[in-house]
Structure formats: C-alpha cells, structure tokens
Structure 1
Amino acid sequence: MSDWPRQSPAEVALRGACPRCGRGRLFAGLLQVVERCPECGLDLRGHDAGDGPAVFVILGLGTVIMILVFWVEFRYEPPWWLHVLLWGPLTVGLAVWLLRLLKGLLIALQYRHRSTALDE
C-alpha cells in the first residue's frame, strides 16, 4: 500500500498535477507529459493517454461547435468573416484546453488503476 494520499483524478486533471502526490506538475509545456514528477519522482513515461482525448475532443467539441455555428448562422445571419473571427479562436482554445484536461484525467485514471508498470 502506498504512503501517498489518494488523489482525485478529476482534481488532478483540472490542476495538471501529479497523480501520486498532487503537488508536482504533470505537463512540460502545453500537452507534453513530464518524464518524472519533480516533487515525488513518479516515473510518468509509461503513462500514455494515446488517442483517446483527441477522439473525444474531435467528436464532442466538433459537434457542439457545429450546432452553435448553424444556430448563429440561421438566427443572426452574420457575415462570413465574423464566423471566422468567432469560431476559429474559440475552437482552437477549447480544443487545447479539453485535450489537456482529458489527457490529465486518463493519466490519473491509469495511475489509480495501476495499468502501467512504471509507477515506482
């Protein structure tokens, strides 16, 4: 049994924190996972979220954004350049935020359920 307090996967994902200690950072940069937690030394090289977050973001966010695009178009009929200014930055910003959040959540769940062998 581990001496580390059990971390909430949702909280770890929201803060981008280490799934073992909750203090160290999980990401080096925007979406790259650190090799080792700077606080507790947890080896994070084996924790890989794969393509799961990308699939959820593409399907989920794509659906929501397209529903909003059509609603705005049919309700207000704005010029095309307003669509570009509105939906481009919104989609990119939300996609990056959701990718980071879902990647952190899947890594935290992998750690909690011990699906990787490199956690010590």
Structure 2
Amino acid sequence: MTQPTDPGLKPILRGLRGRCPACGKGRLFSGYLRQEPACSHCGEPTGLIRAEDGPPWLTVLILGPVLAPLSFMVSMKSPAPLWISLIALGAFAIGAVLFLLPRIKGGFIGLLWRMQQKEQT
C-alpha cells in the first residue's frame, strides 16, 4: 500500500486500521469499541478523544443508501421465499454494521486527533 502524499491523512488511515493516530504502531482499541487509555508504543493519550455519535451516524449514512435498494430488489426479485430473503438481508446488514463501526470509529478518532494537533501548533 502506498502512503498518501498528504500527511494529514495519515492519522485518519491509521485510525481506520485500528492503530494509534500518532505513531501507527500501538493498538487504538482494547476491545470491540473500547479505546485504550494511551498508546502502548508512544504513550499518546488517545483514550481521551471522544468520538461520541459520529461513527454510528456515518455508518448508517454509508449503509442506508446500499441496504434500502438492496432490500427492495431482494423483496421483488428473489426466487427464495420472502421471509428467508429478509432474514439473510438482515444478517448481512448486521454483519456490515459490525464490520464497519470500529473502523469508522478509528477514522473519527484519527481525524479528531489530527484536529487537536493542528490547534496546538
């Protein structure tokens, strides 16, 4: 993977990978969405950065336009019974949310960390 030319994107991309936005080495999360209090590699206090409602909002914003037409198409054109199709679509939606949410939260934390760094300079 090539590194971006804009150094401002590095913290966001590191966050998307679940890594410390400062150094890219330490883990950002100690659990599924629980933040580490500080980076184990560089000591940056990333646990104080509050992403709040941004990650769930962006997850819904990304998945909504995909899942709404998909559910309509599945209900109209699926050869399987409707109840089976909708259960499968629901499982896909839950899986997509569970996959995207920690990555989006990491990206938000990287963005907020970058904004704090810009304010301090």
Q: TM-score, normalised by structure 1?
A: 0.79
Tell which deviates more after alignment, 22-31 or 9-18.
9-18
Aligned to 2:35: 33
Unaligned runs of at least 5 residues, structure 2: 1-6
Question: RMSD between aligned alpha carbons?
Answer: 2.6
Q: What is the number of equivalent residue pairs in this alignment?
A: 114
Structure 1 outlier segments of 4+, above 3 Å: none
CA displacement at 1:86 relative to structure 2: 1.5
Other-structure match for 1:50? 52
Matches within 5 A, 1:1-80: 8-80=10-82
Give how far 1:45 is off: 2.5
**Contact residue 12 and residue 111 of structure 2 kept, 8 A:** no
Write the letter of the residue equivalent to 1:74.
M
1:22-49 alpha-carbon deviations (Å, 9 max, x no partner): 0000011111111111111111222111
Q: Distance in 2 between matches of 1:6 and 1:21?
A: 13
**What are structure 1's unaligned runs of at least 5 residues?**
none
Deviation at 1:6, TM superposition (A): 7.1
The 2-side partners of 1:71 and 1:108 are apart by 36
Deviates most, 76-85 or 9-18: 76-85
**Partner amino acid for 1:101?**
R
Higher helix share: 2
Q: Which residue of 1 aligns with 2:112?
A: 110
- Structure 1 range deviating more: 60-69 or 42-51: 60-69
Partner of 1:96: 98
TM-score normalised according to structure 2 size = 0.79
Q: In 1, are the aligned partners of 2:75 and 2:82 still within 8 Å (CA)?
A: no
Identity of aligned residues (%): 36
